[in-house]
Amino acid sequence: MGGCTSKDDKNAKGDETTGKSNEMVDAAVLDKLESGFKKLEASDSKSLLKKYLTREVFDKLKTKKTSFGSTLLDVIQSGLENHDSGIGIYAPDAEAYTVFADLFDPIIEDYHGGFKKTDKHPPKNWGDVSVFGNLDPAGEFVVSTRVRCGRSLEGYPFNPCLTEEQYKEMEQKVSSTLSGLEGELKGTFYPLTGMSKEVQQKLIDDHFLFKEGDRFLQAANACRFWPTGRGIFHNDNKTFLVWVNEEDHLRIISMQMGGDLGQVYRRLVTAVNDIEKRLPFSHHDRLGFLTFCPTNLGTTVRASVHIKVPKLASNKAKLDEVASKFNLQVRGTRGEHTEAEGGIYDISNKRRMGLTEFDAVKEMYDGIAELIKIEKEL
Ligand code: ADP
Ligand code: DAR
């Protein structure tokens, strides 16, 4: 149940200055919220939604709406339907971060290692791109390296509030912009509409394309009109890719086999700087670059390796414990909410806010180097 209305209705629905709708939250939404809240409270969910959605916060926020018409239900329905969520909330539009700040701020502080509601994310800073070398020159542990960031197009809300027309408009805007990229970044846009299931599955299996039917995104109303407006741009050797309208408007990705984080990082920085000259991105003075999920705000950067550390991984709890000491997050081979296949783990920086792009990648670089050192000593 998406509460969003198109921006054009904003004048009828919301106040231009406060960004809040003066329309009441309807009874059906309030009923759904109340029953979902009670079920979550009674569950053994470990989500940050459960941890921070107290009865007091719930009662304070349940009658609020953004100028897009987004309600608390639009924010929390994924976590209400998936008690195994890690986080459980998404922002249906950028204003939600302000209107529902009493819930977003403690979750942001918890996830990003202490980014308080009074903190301000630092300006974009890619740092000295020559600093990072190869994490594993001998190729003993690291299978492949990837660095990605998310970007939202200015003037468009997030998935739950997008109209079918907007999806088509964004796809057209992005694909024509990316067609102007030169050199190593030169490539082709492939719409998901019309892509054969075989080609799609091969791209997913090779870790180039996002998986389909993510239940967390579906429950967040992020998959409406699928596959309209969705697609992937990539260069010939698939070391530079851009996802269009999966979870975020854009995921800009650099990746290659082996452990040369320096080359991967330099490629990403060149690409983002180039695209940024052609497309205006949504940026918030305090939260940094805006994304659908609060875990990706700020730098939006996730730098990861596909890595085999068989001794450390013989005890998964130990691997998680050691990784978290270096602010690293362990995922399965196919990414979030998946298991390792053939002993390959996706390990990346966890923090994305309250530090620069350079710092986020350095945290991964230093942490992975430590993991490899520990693995060698076992
Ligand atoms: P993200 O949110 O960064 O896109 P996901 O967890 O959704 O991450 O993973 C997206 C895809 O990227 C998955 O197929 C995953 O296997 C792949 N991936 C992540 N890191 C690497 C890596 N270092 N090498 C190869 N593929 C990777
Ligand atoms: N389904 C969400 C995912 C949280 C972080 N990952 C993102 N945004 N892809 C959860 O709460 O588990």
| Closest ligand 1 atom number to CA of residue 304 | 23
Give distance in angstroms: CA of 85 to centre of ligand 2: 7
- Those residues whose C-beta lies under 8 Å from the C-beta of residue 94, and which sit 6 or more positions away, are 152, 157, 158, 282, 284, 290
At residue 23, the pLDDT reads: 73
Give distance in angstroms: CA of 94 to centre of ligand 1: 25
**Domain chopping of the chain, boundaries:** 9-111, 142-377
Residue matched to tokens 């916060």: 57
Which amino acid residue places its CA nearest to atom 8 of ligand 2?
293
At residue 22, the pLDDT reads: 59
Q: Is 331 a catalytic residue?
A: yes
209: left (phi over 0), alpha (psi -120 to 50) or beta: beta
Amino acid at 147: V
Rg, C-alpha atoms of the chain: 21
At residue 336, the pLDDT reads: 87
The CATH architecture that domain 142-377 belongs to is 2-Layer Sandwich (3.30)
| Closest ligand 2 atom number to CA of residue 87 | 11
At residue 14, the pLDDT reads: 45
Q: How does pLDDT run across 236-248, given as a tens digit for each residue?
A: 999 999 999 999 9
Which CATH number among 3.30.43.10, 3.40.50.1010, 3.40.50.300, 1.10.135.10 corresponds to the domain 9-111?
Answer: 1.10.135.10
At residue 4, the pLDDT reads: 75
Query: Taking 70 as the threshold, does the pLDDT of residue 17 lie above it?
Result: no
Taking the CA of 211 as reference, the closest ligand is: 1
Give distance in angstroms: CA of 60 to centre of ligand 2: 25
Q: How does pLDDT run across 38-70, given as a tens digit for each residue?
A: 999 999 999 999 999 999 999 999 999 999 999
Q: Is 375 a catalytic residue?
A: no
At residue 20, the pLDDT reads: 59
**How far is 376 from 123, CA to CA, in rounded Å?**
38
Mean pLDDT (the chain) is 94
Residue 261, ligand 1, Cβ within 6 A: no
Taking residues 16-38, report their average pLDDT: 82
Choosing from 247, 357, 363, 375, which is the catalytic residue?
Answer: 247
* Residue 346 vs residue 9, higher pLDDT: 346
Q: Which of 242, 298, 289 is nearest to 267 (CA)?
A: 242
Query: Taking 70 as the threshold, does the pLDDT of residue 6 lie above it?
Result: no
Q: How does pLDDT run across 234-283, given as a tens digit for each residue?
A: 999 999 999 999 999 999 999 999 999 999 999 999 999 999 999 999 99
Helix (H, G, I), strand (E, B) or coil at 149: strand
Query: Taking 90 as the threshold, does the pLDDT of residue 90 lie above it?
Result: yes
Query: CB within 6 Å of ligand 2 — which residues?
Result: 85-88, 216, 247, 293, 295-296, 336
- Which of the four pLDDT bands, split at 50, 70 and 90, describes residue 12? very low
DSSP 86: S
Q: How does pLDDT run across 308-363, given as a tens digit for each residue?
A: 999 999 999 989 999 999 999 999 999 888 899 999 999 999 999 999 999 999 99
Taking the CA of 243 as reference, the closest ligand is: 1
Feature table: binding site for ATP: 144-148, 207, 251, 302-306, 331-336
The residues pairing with 14 across neighbouring beta strands, listed in sequence order, are 21
